[in-house]
Amino acid sequence: MNVEKFNYDNQIVKLFLIATIVWGIVGLLVGVIIATQLYIPELNLGLSFTTFGRLRPLHTNAAIFAFVGNAIYTGVYYSLQRITKARMFSDVLSKINFWGWQLIIVLAAVTLVTGITTSKEYAELEWPIDILIALVWVVFGVNMIGTLVKRREKHIYVAAWFYISTFVTVAVLHIGNSIELPVTFLKSYSVYAGVQDALVQWWYGHNAVAFFLTTPFLGLMYYFLPKAANRPIFSYKLSILHFWTLIFIYIWAGPHHLLYSAVPNWAQSLGTVFSIMLWMPSWGGMLNGLLTLRGAWDRVRDNPVLKFFVIGVTAYGMSTFEGPMLSLKNVNALAHFTDWILAHVHVGTLGWNGFMTFGMLYWLVPKLWKTDLYSKKLANVHFWIGTLGMVVWVIPMWWSGITQSLMWKEFTPLGLLKYPNFLETVLQIVPMYIMRSIGGLLYLTGILIASYNLFKTMGKGSFTAEEAAEAAPRGPVTEKLQYGMIHRYLESKAILFTVLALVAILIGGLVEIIPTYLVKSNIPTIASVKPYTPLELEGRDIYISNACNSCHSQLVRPFRSEVERYGEYSKAGEFVYDHPFLWGSKRTGPDLHRIGKKYSNMWHYLHMENPRSMSPGSLMPPYPWLLENKLDDSNLKAKISAMRTLGVPYEEGYEEVAHAEMAQQAETIVNDLLDNGIVVEPDKEIVALIAYLQRLGTDIKAEVAENK
């Protein structure tokens, strides 16, 4: 048999590996900072750039796309070459993939802290960066599929099935969710509005978790875990079953993020039932991982790599059990908008993504640098401090989520809310916030220890950029399609496999999203709901730019306790002009959907200047710059016509009078403030923000009044 000689590209793996460590430290550091800001708001140093709302998306983006993203590339670029017995398809594409991704991360950091954001969670980046992401992702995909096509192995290993599904699904999700109409170079509006935008966003958001945090890591597990344990995969059958069921079912479960919202009931129910059905396919991955360790458990005790993998896979099992439970409406009613969700997410990210990454790095660095780990002792310290950090992070957040939610819902015997003041429920959980930041600090310490250990290991070894390998060419395909071996046949067809994976993931999304467009009755219109005035529209953009939606929801759920606290529950028809929707996903502060006309203009002015003056003890940071900054209304005309293009019924030619109308409305607010002894110029940002807040959720009040 003739044997071909070739080289594995280790250089690209090294680049991604170092980026993983560096961004890991950055992402976790920002996490610790914002965790601390929640009880010491002064830590924003009085700057808009470092305020919680701006840093929170920076943390999530850095952790998910920078840390985990680079970890995925590290693992894929290393393992794919080896399971296909081929060098990456193109060195140029590899380089574009690396430098392009790092450029995206830097651009993300700069734009997010300066308030350039679309507001959509985990998809905050503006349209030029979105296009860049799409391009770089396609480069990655082409490079991967190209490698699979020119592979020397006859079949495609299960790890690569997961890589393939990751590529196609993230491409579809990212493009689908980022369809937005540019207004200027750095500002755009989502083409979807209200309920539709919410469904698309959580179809994306949920599946970003599925196909960026889950499937690529299952792929990594299928390579690195058996390699490190030197054991065969427990069950090939189980691999096939849980791969296809996982990718097919996952995509349907998005609406479980929108239970008890204004989304149609049928969509919510689909979210619930598919989440329950997702339980076993998820556990299939955990079982195959843990049972692969069968016969190697004695080695887990003294092998740090396996230790990290065991906790990682166990954390995956825990959070994929918790997820379906949280999708039950009665549990969700309690957990949604609270810290419980954060606990759930962090079991996944700290436990599964973090520990799998660390395990992989501890295995990979000695391998690539041809040496032993610098210190096994330090790796063990990292393991314990990381595990402890996770426990100290997660348990207080479960506790605080349940505590606060029960306080929100409690009534007195006389039928009044027991804790009508939202702040009381926040102050109650401050000790938990403190614990959580300590947990985060421990976990961060762990990764610092890891980076020291890994860089020391690199220092004492010698790195080979080009690793020689040899394998027989694949030759003509001989695999035949035959009964009982269908999947084996599929494994020899890279393109067909990719297409089938694409079909599997398209079905759920299409079934859930298309009907909300086509079936009018899914979004009942409300006659009294009108488009925003120019000033309110500008105010809304200030709300978005300061990421108020990081802490405040705009969605009153149909519960007596919420209607009592905030006002009438939110209806689908109220959001038809909301491009993008701003429902939020976490109530660190109270809901704002019915804030309009509840307080005076002066209250809002003083509250933004210093929240504690109106709400003693408040943990909201002050926003004094809103009082100083001049409103940039230079794009108002473009904004109005963009909104009209998206279907908001502004009359033709409204652009021409928009500035005058805006000035008029600003004048009214300024005069009212002046009557109360506050002097402010009408062109300040605060005026526009007050106009928006006073409008929020008030349209429907007219309707209610008319009906009475």
Partner 1 sequence: MKVIKNFNVIAVIFLLFILSSPIFAETTAESGGGLESIIKIMVAVTAFLVAVIMWLVLVYSEKSESAEESGFRKLMQMLNQRPSIDDEQKLLLDHDFDGIKELNNKIPPWFMAIFYGSMLWAAYYMVDYHILGSGNVQEDEYAAEVQVAAMEREILNKSGALVNEETVTVLDDVAAIASGKEIFIKNCAACHGMNGEGLVGPNFTDDYWIHGNKINDLFKTIKYGVPQKGMISWQAQLDPTQMQEVASYILTLRGTNPPNQKAPEGDLYTYE
Please say which residue, 614 or 680, places its beta carbon nearer to partner 1.
614
104, two tokens: 């995206």
Sole residue written with tokens 């005035």: 533
Please say which residue, 133 or 262, places its beta carbon nearer to partner 1.
262
Please state the closest distance from residue 76 (CB atom) to partner 1, in A.
Answer: 14
Q: Give yes or no for a contact between 55 and 113, defined as CB atoms under 8 angstroms apart.
A: yes
Please say which residue, 476 or 616, places its beta carbon nearer to partner 1.
616
Please state the closest distance from residue 547 (CB atom) to partner 1, in A.
Answer: 26
Please state the closest distance from residue 411 (CB atom) to partner 1, in A.
Answer: 8
Please state the closest distance from residue 379 (CB atom) to partner 1, in A.
Answer: 23
Please state the closest distance from residue 508 (CB atom) to partner 1, in A.
Answer: 13
Closest CA to 238 of 295, 290, 281: 281
In sequence order, what are the residues at sequence separation of 6 or more whose Cβ sits closer than 8 angstroms to the Cβ of residue 450? 21, 358, 361, 362, 378, 379, 382
Please say which residue, 11 or 239, places its beta carbon nearer to partner 1.
239
Q: How many residues does the chain have?
A: 708
For 61-120, give the secondary structure using H, E and C: HHHHHHHHHHHHHHHHHHHHHHHHCCCCCCHHHHHHHHHHHHHHHHHHHHHHHCCCCCCC
Please say which residue, 64 or 225, places its beta carbon nearer to partner 1.
225
Please state the closest distance from residue 563 (CB atom) to partner 1, in A.
Answer: 8
Report how far residue 196's alpha carbon sits from residue 199's, in angstroms, rounded to the nearest whole number. 5
Distance of CA 332 to the CA centre of its chain: 19
In sequence order, what are the residues at sequence separation of 6 or more whose Cβ sits closer than 8 angstroms to the Cβ of residue 171? 134, 137, 138, 141
Please say which residue, 424 or 681, places its beta carbon nearer to partner 1.
424
Please say which residue, 238 or 663, places its beta carbon nearer to partner 1.
238
Please say which residue, 145 or 253, places its beta carbon nearer to partner 1.
253
Please say which residue, 208 or 343, places its beta carbon nearer to partner 1.
343
Residue 646 backbone class (left: φ over 0; alpha: ψ -120 to 50; beta: rest): alpha
Please state the closest distance from residue 325 (CB atom) to partner 1, in A.
Answer: 7
Nearest-10 crossing angle of helices 127-149, 69-84: 20
Q: Give yes or no for a contact between 579 and 567, defined as CB atoms under 8 angstroms apart.
A: no
Please state the closest distance from residue 151 (CB atom) to partner 1, in A.
Answer: 11
Please say which residue, 15 or 263, places its beta carbon nearer to partner 1.
263
Please state the closest distance from residue 270 (CB atom) to partner 1, in A.
Answer: 8
Q: What is the three-class DSSP state of 429?
A: coil
Q: What is the three-class DSSP state of 417?
A: strand
What φ, ψ does residue 314 adopt, rounded to 5°?
Answer: -65, -40
Please state the closest distance from residue 153 (CB atom) to partner 1, in A.
Answer: 7
Sole residue written with tokens 């970003």: 208
Distance of CA 271 to the CA centre of its chain: 18
Q: Give yes or no for a contact between 251 and 507, defined as CB atoms under 8 angstroms apart.
A: yes
